Amino acid sequence: MKTIGEIDPELLRESQVLIRDRYTYNDLGHPAVQEIFNISTVKKADEIAESNGKRVSTGDEYLNIDLDSYDIPEHMEVGPSFLDTIMKDIKLPTLPDILMKIHEVIRNPNSSAHDMAEVISMDAGLSSTILKIVNSAFYNFQSEIDTLYRAVAVMGTKQLSALTHGIKIIDSFKGISSGVLNMRSFWKHCIACGIASRVLANYKGLLSAERLFMAGLFHDIARLALHSHASTISIYILMKSRKTCNPLRVVEKDTMQYDHAEIGGLLLNKWNLPMSLENTVRYHHTPLSADNELEASIVHISDVLINALALGSSGEYYIPTLDPGAWEALDLPEAILPLAAKEIESQIDEVFNYFFSGNSKAAMKVA
């Protein structure tokens, strides 16, 4: 990735004009925000240089609808019973049996790495996908991991369990259709946020990097659920956001009394996923209110960075407001941000393709 100083001054000004509006709700005087702004400026400059006079991305192509074709009311009344109704209507996909078996292996103190490998090997597509991801730039191991047993031995059961959950839960959600969001763009945004959360956790030296990948992966899951089960309200929120120049989260709160982060926490609770994951998702926009403010801060900062890099989208036009307290909680130098961005971009296409490969080959070797 180039630096600001390597960009032609005229091209630099053009790219800054194109992206500055997206930073309306951020303090460009904050060192981390300034660094993220510079990263997205460089990326936009490269996009302009490669466009050969064609239209440069505005972000609206991440939606499956033309917002200009909708005439929305000035106000939409959503009664106090809306949340209860929508939570009843949203039918979360049933978790695959293999995840239950993996839980049993983890809970059993006498289980071995071979036991975990045996369970995973029961799902041929899962086995293949895991070995592909483990051998990708996502993990960057020095030597090839050619068996599931070796994957468990190198990564540990909890880390491999988190990766397995991510793969199978995305598979479960693939059947959910949305006439509003571009689904590939939505999942690219979520996977990129998961990768970013894992990258920042590794920079911080945390042992919970895989759990943070899961939290990043599902930070915007409520938006998918709302687009699928309350599309009229979702379109209203999108339109109201653009018309009033307010972030989606603000319009969500005004319209529903809850934002997508809070609803996401409730959905994960309904799905009986770990409390730590629920808490991080629930507070990824208000990380200092979380039980584990460091983990919530990492997902929060990752969300800001991924929106700035425009790696997919969950529908938001504005770069989420960076909480200065979250940056203080992370306690890393601003210089790691371009390094993290480079690492994320080097992984996203490969990892995304593995998650959506639909591989159904014969099971890989267990040992």
If asked whether residues 65 and 53 sit together in one domain, one would say: no
Q: How many CB atoms lie within 10 A of CB 73?
A: 9
Q: What are the beta bridge partners of residue 63?
A: 181
CA atoms of 52 and 240, how far apart (whole Å)? 33
If asked whether residues 148 and 8 sit together in one domain, one would say: no
Residue 36 belongs to domain spanning: 1-57
For residue 105, give the CATH number of its domain: 1.10.3210.10
Cβ 169 vs Cβ 95: under 8 Å: yes
CA atoms of 346 and 343, how far apart (whole Å)? 5
If asked whether residues 248 and 294 sit together in one domain, one would say: yes
If asked whether residues 236 and 180 sit together in one domain, one would say: yes
> Is 365 within a domain?
no
Total domains in the chain come to 2
If asked whether residues 34 and 133 sit together in one domain, one would say: no
CA atoms of 345 and 340, how far apart (whole Å)? 9
If asked whether residues 45 and 118 sit together in one domain, one would say: no
> What pLDDT tens digit does each residue of the chain (367 aa) get?
677 878 888 999 999 999 999 999 999 999 999 999 999 999 999 888 887 755 555 554 566 667 666 677 777 878 767 778 777 777 666 667 888 888 888 888 888 888 999 999 988 888 988 898 889 888 888 889 999 999 888 888 878 888 888 888 777 777 666 677 788 889 999 999 999 999 999 999 998 888 899 999 999 999 988 888 888 888 899 889 988 999 999 999 999 989 999 999 998 888 778 899 999 999 999 999 999 999 999 999 999 999 999 999 999 999 999 999 999 999 999 999 999 999 999 999 988 888 776 543 333 345 4
> Is 41 within a domain?
yes
CA atoms of 268 and 278, how far apart (whole Å)? 6
> Is 362 within a domain?
no
Please say which residue of 57, 73, 93 terminates a domain. 57
pTM confidence score: 0.88
If asked whether residues 234 and 282 sit together in one domain, one would say: yes
If asked whether residues 46 and 67 sit together in one domain, one would say: no
If asked whether residues 149 and 251 sit together in one domain, one would say: yes
> Is 363 within a domain?
no
Cβ 165 vs Cβ 99: under 8 Å: yes
> Is 361 within a domain?
no
